[in-house]
Amino acid sequence: MDGNKNIGVYFAKTPVNYVSVKSGNRNDPTVWNTPYVPDMATDTALISAQHVVTIPAGYTTTCGAITFGTGLVGAKTTLQINGTLNLAANLVPGVYTKLAIGAGGTLDLRG
């Protein structure tokens, strides 16, 4: 034995409240107010008014809760599911919410 020891360092990601800053794919970090994407059962995501957030085909993700923002009268907020969304807690629609599940899309409500 040469006296060297390996030390592993692990970083735990804490739950985050994500807010969409533009429309786009859910797995695109530039869509959110942080440099990450919501991907844990304890994360919450707010889709801001007039934004369309899409879960692309072939993409599977998990989120704790999704809330749809409200804004101007008739300002639609959309979650388009073409892949798979495992929702661990709540889905809180706004007044003008559109939840669209495309062909091959799956919404698994576990809350």
Cβ contacts of 14 within 8 Å, gap of 6 or more: none
* Contact between residue 16 and residue 23 where contact means Cβ atoms under 8 Å apart: no
* Phi, psi torsion values for 105, nearest 5 degrees: -80, 150
**In terms of pLDDT, which residue wins out, 10 or 30?**
30
Q: Which of 62-66, 78-82, 90-94, 96-100 has the lowest mean pLDDT?
A: 90-94
Q: What is the mean pLDDT of residues 58-65?
A: 86
Question: Predicted confidence band at 33 (pLDDT cuts at 50, 70, 90)?
Answer: very high
3-state DSSP assignment of residue 29: helix
- pLDDT for 17: 86
Indicate whether 12 pLDDT > 80.
no
pTM: 0.76
Q: Distances in Å between the alpha carbon of 71 and those of 38, 68, 94?
A: 22, 10, 9
- Judged on CB neighbours under 10 Å (0-12, 13-18, 19+), 73 is exposed
Instruction: Summarize the confidence of residues 78-106 as an average pLDDT.
Output: 82
The mean of the pLDDT values for the chain is 81
